[in-house]
A and B are shown apart, each in its own frame.
Chain A
Amino acid sequence: MNVAVNRTPAEAAYIGAGALVASDRKRREAYEQFIAKGLPHRRMEDWRWTDLRQIINTAFPPALAPSAPVMDKNLIAQSPFYSIVRARLVLVDGLFMPGLSTLPASGEVEIASISDMMPPWLSGVLGTGSGHADDPILSMNTAFMAGGVGIRIAAAATVETPIEIVSIVTKGEPRTLAGRVVLVVEDGASAAIIETHLGAPGAYVNSSVTEAFVGANARLDRLKVQLDGEQAIHLANCHVQLKEGAILRDCTVTQGGATTRQQGFITFAGSHADAKIAGAYLLRGKQHCDTRLVVDHRVPNCISREVFKCIIDEAARGIFQGKVIVQRDAQKTDGKQSSHGLLLSPTAEFDAKPELEIYADDVVCGHGATAGDLDEDLVFYLRTRGIPLREARALLVSAFAAEAFEDIAHDQIRDRLEQLSREWLQRRIEQ
């Protein structure tokens, strides 16, 4: 392999980890794929706003087997859902820690660690969730995965209580920590999964990949809340496959980290499936969050909705790239996308790139993007009712974010997210 051309110190560190992956064929293939392309950079169309070659500008060597990480248990309590959720799986530096976890009581839920001794339901699907094997975040994660967890919801089971997966990075050291989550929701089953990311204040790379398999007439409610450390680089993929009649309600909330690149690949593999992908950004300082969604309608009669509400303050930057593909056979597709930036400062920036690729002729597809400041007419209206300026603005900002939380079925979790956005705003006001 030719590794001589213009490698950055960060890329050199990844290349140098080759010995760690040599013994495993899948890792080795992913590693080769990853280093052949190197870190994605701005001359690649999908990465034009997020040049990882510039952003990851020093070595973050991968930590494949962080031997028995020590962790303060109180860190787990930093999860916004700590007092609400009764089933919690803890990943520390990418490794699943059953000892720190509270396993779901239901016999219809199976939990397994991603390791050499996986049960067949997990080993059989691990790594098969994506049709995008050459995606750099995916190949990096596959090559350097420390571990992770698989959850299987048995066919026809309805799991009422949400299951939280808390991923914690213990030390803000220049390392790359890669964890994997596999969600198998069998036919007719339903479950709510929360992925919460927490981390130490120093710089690190958090590489996170989720593969979700949603069976026929099954339902997955997935919420990801990113509260990584303030200097963290968060690189996350979510690959979802939906079978016939499946329902996906996905919401990602980005508040932590210095740089976030998150990607969602939603594939309609069975007709009459229905997906809603929502997102909220709460960004300030020099934070940067770039979401790329690829919604692939391969079969007829499916519905997709994307709603992103991005609140951007100070010199932060939010990016939304949403692609909807309607394949030739995907007649009667109903796909709509909207992204909205609320800019709270003149130096805040929001970029939106909607893309529709339609090969079928009988479809309803649309997209809309807006960016702007708070509507002063609304502020005035609230003030004429006696609500002071600061409170009026706060109320409108959290109302703006709330649309992204609309489809969260669990009231307490939705309330908690609304509280999260109010608290975020409160910190701005106190400054």
Chain B
Amino acid sequence: MLKIENLHASVVGRDILNGVDLEVRPGEVHAIMGPNGSGKSTLAYVLAGREGYDVTEGAVTYNGENLLELEPDERAARGLFLAFQYPIEIPGVVTVQFLKVALNAQRKARGESELSTPDFMRLVRDRANKLRIDPEMLKRPVNVGFSGGEKKRAEILQMAVLEPALCVLDETDSGLDIDALRVVADGVNALRSPKRAMIVITHYQRLLEYIVPDRVHVLSKGRIVKSGDKSLALELEEKGYANFERDAA
């Protein structure tokens, strides 16, 4: 599904990614762990197509297509979803309207018919229910005045409505207390399916107790320095990142 080969990327002239290799197949959940500054968020932004994140070497193939040539909205229409570490507030745009515009833009790009308002409302209410999101929240502008937990839940709601094939979760656990973390993780787990892959980016092992990954990778200084199964996360928790950083050097 996703193949990252020798990916190098820089941000304002500074090299951040120095040869990342990663392959993700449908149904798999991959965790990418690493200390601050290791390039985790940069990897997420490069995959989503953010301006200013320049790929200097390497390739990213998504379902056989060169992902790097696509605009951010084209990537989304093909099923890529980035859950932001810091979801952005959009004053003046009501959440439910935003979701409808986004879903129908994706459907249009895929040559599917647009969803009618009643059909769409049924879908959103159903997804909001499952995530225990108050329907009143849908009437508020996107993320405006939401608490940290509400913002993360709203991201997962977007994911549940847009039904992407590849989800990249950028530090979805940051700023969440244990109850909010559980709700978010339940939401993510409910979306696991044999056709859907996930890349869960996190600093801490804690999230991985709730979202159990198939593979764990350690990112250090812009490279994956070690990969393993879920036990690698526990090893990291015990030993810290320092050992791996030495390996990377």
Interface residues of B in 99-114 (CB under 8 A from A): 101-103, 105-106, 109
What residues of chain B lie closer than 8 Å to A388, measured between beta carbons? Answer: 71, 73, 105, 109
A399 pairs with B93, CB closer than 8 A = yes
B51 pairs with A386, CB closer than 8 A = no
A403 pairs with B92, CB closer than 8 A = yes
A387–B90 Cα gap in the complex (Å)?
14
Partner pick for A383 among B71, B84, B92, CB 8 A cutoff:
B71
A-B contact pairs, 23 of them (CB 8 A): A376-B51, A377-B88, A380-B72, A382-B102, A383-B72, A384-B48, A384-B49, A384-B72, A384-B73, A384-B76, A384-B82, A385-B98, A386-B103, A386-B105, A386-B162, A387-B101, A387-B102, A388-B73, A388-B109, A389-B71, A395-B93, A396-B90, A403-B92
A402–B141 Cα gap in the complex (Å)?
11
Say whether A82 faces chain B, with CB atoms less than 8 Å apart.
no
Say whether B158 faces chain A, with CB atoms less than 8 Å apart.
yes
Partner pick for A385 among B51, B92, B141, B162, CB 8 A cutoff:
B162
| Number of A-B residue pairs at CB separation under 8 A | 76
Q: How far is the CB of A227 from chain B (nearest CB, A)?
A: 23
What residues of chain A lie closer than 8 Å to B73, measured between beta carbons? Answer: 383-389, 392
Contact A385 B102, CB 8 Å, known A376-B51, A380-B51, A380-B72: yes
Query: Contact flags (1/0) for A341-380 with B, using CB distance below 8 Å?
Result: 0000000000000000000000000000000000011101
Question: How many residues of A are counted as interface, with CB atoms below 8 angstroms from the partner's CB atoms?
Answer: 23
What residues of chain B lie closer than 8 Å to A386, measured between beta carbons? Answer: 73, 76-77, 102-103, 105-106, 109, 162
A385–B90 Cα gap in the complex (Å)?
13
What residues of chain B lie closer than 8 Å to A392, measured between beta carbons? Answer: 73
Q: State the A residues within 8 Å of B (CB).
A: 376-378, 380-389, 391-392, 395-396, 398-403
A385–B109 Cα gap in the complex (Å)?
12
A396–B92 Cα gap in the complex (Å)?
8
A394–B75 Cα gap in the complex (Å)?
20
Query: Contact flags (1/0) for B25-52 with A, using CB distance below 8 Å?
Result: 0000000000000000000000011110
Q: How far is the CB of B93 from chain A (nearest CB, A)?
A: 5
A115–B64 Cα gap in the complex (Å)?
78
What residues of chain A lie closer than 8 Å to B175, measured between beta carbons? Answer: none
- Closest residue of B by beta carbon distance from A387: B105
User: Which 4 A-B pairs have CB atoms at the shortest separation, nearest pair first?
Assistant: A399-B92, A386-B76, A386-B106, A383-B72
Q: How far is the CB of A225 from chain B (nearest CB, A)?
A: 19
- Closest residue of B by beta carbon distance from A403: B92
Size bracket, chain B contacts: 20 to 34
Partner pick for A395 among B76, B101, B158, CB 8 A cutoff:
B101
Q: How far is the CB of B81 from chain A (nearest CB, A)?
A: 8
Interface residues of B in 62-79 (CB under 8 A from A): 71-73, 75-77
Say whether B240 faces chain A, with CB atoms less than 8 Å apart.
no
What residues of chain A lie closer than 8 Å to B58, measured between beta carbons? Answer: none
A401–B93 Cα gap in the complex (Å)?
11
Q: How far is the CB of A396 from chain B (nearest CB, A)?
A: 7
Q: How far is the CB of B186 from chain A (nearest CB, A)?
A: 22
What residues of chain B lie closer than 8 Å to A378, measured between beta carbons? Answer: 88, 90
Partner pick for B76 among A383, A389, A399, CB 8 A cutoff:
A383
Partner pick for B92 among A381, A391, A400, CB 8 A cutoff:
A400
What residues of chain B lie closer than 8 Å to A395, measured between beta carbons? Answer: 93, 98, 101
Say whether B91 faces chain A, with CB atoms less than 8 Å apart.
yes
What residues of chain B lie closer than 8 Å to A382, measured between beta carbons? Answer: 90, 98, 102
A396–B91 Cα gap in the complex (Å)?
9
Q: How far is the CB of A278 from chain B (nearest CB, A)?
A: 13
What residues of chain A lie closer than 8 Å to B48, measured between beta carbons? Answer: 380, 384
Q: How far is the CB of B180 from chain A (nearest CB, A)?
A: 21
What residues of chain B lie closer than 8 Å to A383, measured between beta carbons? Answer: 49, 71-73, 76
Contact A391 B105, CB 8 Å, known A380-B50, A385-B158, A386-B162: yes
A159–B201 Cα gap in the complex (Å)?
58
A395–B109 Cα gap in the complex (Å)?
18
A88–B76 Cα gap in the complex (Å)?
48
What residues of chain A lie closer than 8 Å to B105, measured between beta carbons? Answer: 385-388, 391
A383-B49, A384-B84, A385-B105 given; name 19 further pairs at CB < 8 Å: A380-B48, A382-B90, A383-B71, A383-B72, A384-B72, A384-B81, A385-B73, A386-B73, A386-B77, A386-B109, A388-B71, A388-B73, A389-B71, A391-B105, A395-B98, A396-B92, A398-B92, A399-B90, A403-B91
A66–B103 Cα gap in the complex (Å)?
55
A378–B71 Cα gap in the complex (Å)?
15
What residues of chain A lie closer than 8 Å to B71, measured between beta carbons? Answer: 383, 388-389
What residues of chain B lie closer than 8 Å to A400, measured between beta carbons? Answer: 92
- Closest residue of B by beta carbon distance from A385: B102
- Closest residue of A by beta carbon distance from B97: A395
Q: How far is the CB of B152 from chain A (nearest CB, A)?
A: 15
What residues of chain A lie closer than 8 Å to B92, measured between beta carbons? Answer: 396, 398-403
- Closest residue of B by beta carbon distance from A418: B92
Q: Which of B71, B84, B93, B103 has the most CB of A within 10 A?
A: B93
- Closest residue of B by beta carbon distance from A401: B92
A386–B70 Cα gap in the complex (Å)?
12
What residues of chain A lie closer than 8 Å to B50, measured between beta carbons? Answer: 380
Q: How far is the CB of A421 from chain B (nearest CB, A)?
A: 11
A381–B75 Cα gap in the complex (Å)?
13
Q: How far is the CB of B193 from chain A (nearest CB, A)?
A: 20
What residues of chain A lie closer than 8 Å to B106, measured between beta carbons? Answer: 385-386
Q: Which of A384, A388, A398 has the most CB of B within 10 A?
A: A384
A382–B141 Cα gap in the complex (Å)?
13
A387–B88 Cα gap in the complex (Å)?
15
What residues of chain B lie closer than 8 Å to A398, measured between beta carbons? Answer: 92
Q: How far is the CB of B50 from chain A (nearest CB, A)?
A: 6
A156–B9 Cα gap in the complex (Å)?
69
B91 pairs with A399, CB closer than 8 A = yes
A402–B90 Cα gap in the complex (Å)?
12
